[in-house]
Amino acid sequence: MRIIDYYNYIATAACIFTGAAAVIICKKNNMKDLSARATTIILAVIMFVAAFLRLYRLGAIPYGLHQDEASLGYEAYSLATYGIDRNGYPFPVYPITWGCGGGSPLMIYLNAISIRLFGSGVVKLRLLPVISGIITVFLFYLVVKELTDNAKATHKNMISLFAAFFLAVCPWHVILSRWSLDANIMPLNMCIAMYLFMLGIRTKKTYVYVLSAIAYAICMYSYGSATIVVPVHLLLLCIFCLKNKLLNLKQLIASGTVFLVVFLPLLIFYMVNYLGLPEVFAEHFTINRFTASRSGEVFIALDSSLPANLFDNLKVFFKVITIGDDTDMLCHFIPGYATLFEFTFPITFIGIYVTFKDVFSKKSKDSAEKRAIDFVWLSMLIACFIMALVIVTDISRMVMMFLPLIYFFVKGFGFVLERTARVFVVIPVLLLFAAISFSKDYFLDYNNVTGNLFMPGYGEAIERAYEIAGDERPIYSTYDGLSAPFMLALYYNDYDVNRFYKTVNYKDPYGEFRVADSFGNFIFGLPQDIDNADADNAVFVLTESEFEAFHNADSYSSEHLGGYCILHKH
């Protein structure tokens, strides 16, 4: 076992001991809260740490581009430059990308704006999730501050700073903020929507509820899982608020109407795809149909395997919220650290229990307003749990669940802090050492374990090959250790989208994921006999091992770049 594994065992035991001490000792902590000046200074330090962890060596860690990053980036480039997506549709409501989706519209269109302003490139492509991540840390501080200002907690500043600190160093959120998957801006979108709803509960003002409805509707454009989670979450939340007279019928109708108006284009898109409505092709926008469905790959089957699948999903769910699920792809986590650190779950469970008690217990002394604000988080967790039962789970699909879990961890920490004089310090100390260890492993070792996912060096190599070949000479690319390399070829070369969609040849045009084996003068896959493949005119991109095995390499000019070799004849 590694040192971090031993540390997790010790830290988990320490968290269990700390939680038990808070329950058993039950002695009010008379320590003074931090002053406003000290809070401001510490918050500034936390924000600096959050920014550093998300910006340091952004273009090099992860090294390369994931196929979904390149897909999203090229889709944005095509829309920003040519006004059509890579399938030739003008400004689609939902770009179908791989044919079955896989790139949500909000991230694509925000990147299209960024490209128009600043141009394309790996760092620029990743700046949006970085900025979103940093803002989320600060916004989460404000959210917890809003909650503690309206609660009986006597250490409001300490709890709010702890919330910001944990999110700033949380493995899930740091990794998520450093690469450009469409799901990776969902925490910010969701945090904004929930914060506005909490302000609505606090102020009782209709326009605040309407702003919250707009934010929730925008969440629907952020990632596919929102189509399940957001409606369930809002249904539970609105019922609770109506019952407790924190939301009236007029406000509900106004907010619901605005939500539907903002959501309407996406709703029509779903009706086109799932109810058979005709496609819409206008000069400046498109509502088109997927070429393939992912429902079989996403949702569990409604057959005899249902009970077993439900049980498996339940196991995965509890694994994810406790010690983490090591079967997920390494682009989402580092083994040994899980999503929220492996040792935090005892305190998280305390937070969930305390929240349930505060919200539903008849003996609760909290106001209806305070209970409703707590229920904002609880209803989101319940909605995510329901979704986790019916889909094939992974970290990206459950992206909306982790911010509520962090909130409950903070709530558990607040419980410990308020009831113990000194024991509470164990939790931030454990987190500090874990954060240092995680940062070291991430910045020193992450590239070593994610090579096949981010295809390091290939983008630069295929870009150089295109510089040599232009649009006339054929380019033969290796496929060894690569996943959908055609996407990197498109993105790194700012390839003309008109030429792409008119010349592309997909391996399976109606497959679940459309992967190209050629377009223009690019061919992905090496010929069996290179010497008879128009070798005098062709440009080849090979792995170093393929180059070493190539007997006639001396008759070519060779360039070695990023672990690949570009062969060509003048």
At 417-438, the pLDDT tens digits run 988 877 889 999 999 999 999 9
Q: Which residues of 505-538 are buried (b: 16+ CB within 10 A; e: fewer)?
A: ebeeeeeebbbbebbbbbbbebeeebeeeebeeb
Please indicate, yes or no, if residue 88 is contained in any of the structural domains: yes
Q: Are residues 103 and 162 in the same domain?
A: yes
Q: Are residues 423 and 469 in the same domain?
A: no
Q: Are residues 489 and 407 in the same domain?
A: no
Q: Are residues 384 and 521 in the same domain?
A: no
Instruction: Per residue of the chain (570 residues), give pLDDT as tens.
Output: 688 889 999 999 999 999 998 888 777 777 888 888 999 999 999 999 999 999 999 999 999 999 999 999 999 999 999 999 999 999 999 999 888 877 889 999 999 999 999 999 999 999 999 999 999 999 999 999 877 766 666 788 999 999 999 999 999 999 999 999 988 999 999 999 999 999 999 999 999 999 999 999 999 999 888 999 999 999 999 999 999 999 999 999 999 999 999 999 999 999 998 888 999 988 888 999 988 876 555 666 666 777 777 787 788 788 888 877 766 677 888 888 988 899 999 999 999 999 999 898 877 777 888 899 999 999 999 999 998 888 777 777 888 999 999 999 999 999 999 888 778 899 999 999 999 999 999 999 999 888 788 999 999 999 999 999 999 899 999 999 899 999 999 999 999 999 999 999 999 888 888 999 999 999 999 887 666 656 668 899 999 888 877 766 677 888 898 889 999 887
User: What is the per-residue pLDDT across 143-198, written as a single tens digit (0 to 9) for each?
Assistant: 998 777 666 667 889 999 999 999 999 999 999 999 999 889 999 999 999 999 99
Q: What's the confidence (pLDDT) of residue 301?
A: 64
Does this model's pTM top 0.75? My answer is yes
Helix (H) or strand (E) holding 541: strand 539-543
Please indicate, yes or no, if residue 345 is contained in any of the structural domains: yes
**HSE on the CB side for 1, CA within 13 Å?**
8
Contact (CB, 8 A) for 410 and 162? yes
Strand runs labelled E in 354-482: 475-477
The answer to whether the bond into 62 is cis (omega within 30° of 0) is yes
User: Total domain count for the chain?
Assistant: 2
Q: What's the confidence (pLDDT) of residue 531?
A: 60
CA 393, 396, 398, 401 dihedral sign is positive
Q: Are residues 499 and 401 in the same domain?
A: no
Q: What's the confidence (pLDDT) of residue 25?
A: 77
Range of the domain at 524: 457-568
List, in sequence order, every residue forming a beta bridge with 90; answer none if it has no partner. Answer: 84
Q: Are residues 438 and 477 in the same domain?
A: no
Token look-up 């993105």 returns 491
Q: Are residues 412 and 275 in the same domain?
A: yes
List, in sequence order, every residue forming a beta bridge with 541; answer none if it has no partner. Answer: 477, 566
Q: What's the confidence (pLDDT) of residue 299?
A: 64
Q: What's the confidence (pLDDT) of residue 148?
A: 74
Helix (H) or strand (E) holding 500: helix 497-503
Token look-up 């001991």 returns 17
Q: Are residues 479 and 536 in the same domain?
A: yes
Please give the structure tokens belonging to residue 366.
Answer: 């909290």
Task: List Cβ neighbours of 241 (8 Å cut-off, separation of 6 or more).
Answer: 201, 247, 372
Q: What's the confidence (pLDDT) of residue 530?
A: 67
Please indicate, yes or no, if residue 331 is contained in any of the structural domains: yes
Contact (CB, 8 A) for 530 and 552? yes
Q: Are residues 396 and 464 in the same domain?
A: no
Out of 396, 417, 445, pick the residue that ends a domain.
Answer: 445
Please indicate, yes or no, if residue 452 is contained in any of the structural domains: no
Please indicate, yes or no, if residue 129 is contained in any of the structural domains: yes
Please indicate, yes or no, if residue 391 is contained in any of the structural domains: yes
| Angle, in degrees to the nearest 10, between helices 368-390 and 122-149 | 140
Please give the structure tokens belonging to residue 445.
Answer: 């070792």
Q: Are residues 323 and 469 in the same domain?
A: no
Q: Which residues of 170-204 are buried (b: 16+ CB within 10 A; e: fewer)?
A: bbbbbbbbbbbbbbbbbbbbbbbbbbbbbbbbbee
3-state secondary structure of 160: helix
Q: Are residues 439 and 483 in the same domain?
A: no
Please indicate, yes or no, if residue 451 is contained in any of the structural domains: no
Q: Are residues 410 and 493 in the same domain?
A: no
Identify the CA nearest to 341 among candidates 170, 165, 178, 159: 170
Task: List Cβ neighbours of 200 (8 Å cut-off, separation of 6 or more).
Answer: 208, 209, 212, 247, 251
Q: What's the confidence (pLDDT) of residue 422?
A: 79
Please indicate, yes or no, if residue 372 is contained in any of the structural domains: yes
